[in-house]
Amino acid sequence: MADRYDLIVFDWDGTLMDSAAAIVQAIIAAARDLDLEEPPESLARHVIGLGLADALRHAVPDLPESDYPRMVERYRYHYLAQDHQLTLFPGAYEMVRELASLGRMLAVATGKSRLGLNRAMAHCGLEQFFHSTRCADECFSKPHPEMLEQIMDELGVGRQRTLMVGDTTHDMQMAANAGVDGLAVTFGAHPRVVLESERSVAMIDTPSALAEWLRTHS
């Protein structure tokens, strides 16, 4: 199966960066600030990977539309207060660097904003390895296939040669909607039992196993 994929597209939060817990905490804290019922952690975790607007809409369904800008502001306040402490999963930097050295085209499709992704990539030093990135404030939110479609069009890679790597059902559904293979990782936002409901070429339980799978299957 060597050289099966020319393009590997990664989700960011919960796939490359160990940030799922911070996102959950920021959603819950923002709801608390607005005196809203705090969403259960399982619900806050489930919406990770969606664009911020869709994520908060699902996590806090009782939020009045007039309060939506304030909810977004409070979420960003709480998240930014801790994002400088977030790190990549162990071995993620080396994995991406190795894939780049092997000539793979690499991309990111994320629910983060452009500002948020640029800040995170600069902080961890990965920006030099990626050929294309798409964010939720530039495209339809996952699971719509637009992010993947735009990346494939930009880089000139077909569906059969593209792999989407992500930690949520939203990632796997986006891959299916775009007609590309999805590779699920279970160490991020969504647990294995939830990810098993979606089609994927494999399910990977640790960051080190992800690096090994990509080394041997792409």
- Regarding whether 140 and 51 lie in a shared domain, the answer is no
Tokens of 161: 């040669």
Tokens of 32: 């608390």
- Regarding whether 67 and 97 lie in a shared domain, the answer is no
**Residue keyed to tokens 């019922």:** 37
pLDDT for 206: 98
Classify residue 129: in a domain, yes or no. yes
Measured from the Cβ of residue 32, the count of other Cβ atoms closer than 10 Å reads 13
- Residue 65 predicted with pLDDT over 70: yes
Q: Give the catalytic positions in this structure.
A: 11, 13
Q: Mean pLDDT of all residues in the chain?
A: 93
- Of all residues in the chain, the percent with pLDDT exceeding 90 is 81
SS3 at position 9: strand
Domain boundary among 44, 59, 84: 84
- Regarding whether 196 and 185 lie in a shared domain, the answer is yes
Classify residue 2: in a domain, yes or no. no
- Regarding whether 152 and 163 lie in a shared domain, the answer is yes
pLDDT for 196: 97
- Regarding whether 55 and 96 lie in a shared domain, the answer is no
- Regarding whether 67 and 95 lie in a shared domain, the answer is no
- Regarding whether 54 and 96 lie in a shared domain, the answer is no
- Regarding whether 137 and 194 lie in a shared domain, the answer is yes
pLDDT for 3: 55
Total domains in the fold of the chain: 2
Structural domain that includes position 24: 20-84
As a whole number of angstroms, the distance between CA 172 and CA 193 comes to 14
- Regarding whether 108 and 205 lie in a shared domain, the answer is yes
Q: Using an 8 Å Cβ cutoff, are 164 and 109 in contact?
A: yes
For 160-183, the pLDDT digits (tens) are 999 999 999 999 999 999 999 999
Classify residue 1: in a domain, yes or no. no
- Regarding whether 45 and 150 lie in a shared domain, the answer is no
For 9-62, the pLDDT digits (tens) are 999 999 999 999 999 999 999 999 999 999 999 999 999 988 887 888 888 888
- Regarding whether 43 and 11 lie in a shared domain, the answer is no
Q: Indicate the pLDDT class of residue 84, thresholds 50, 70 and 90.
A: confident
Classify residue 187: in a domain, yes or no. yes
What is the model's pTM? 0.92
As a whole number of angstroms, the distance between CA 175 and CA 182 comes to 6
Classify residue 113: in a domain, yes or no. yes
What is the β-pairing status of strands 132-135 and 162-166?
unpaired
Measured from the Cβ of residue 57, the count of other Cβ atoms closer than 10 Å reads 16
Domain containing 172 — which CATH number? Answer: 3.40.50.1000
- Residue 83 predicted with pLDDT over 90: no
- Regarding whether 110 and 75 lie in a shared domain, the answer is no
Q: Indicate the pLDDT class of residue 82, thresholds 50, 70 and 90.
A: confident
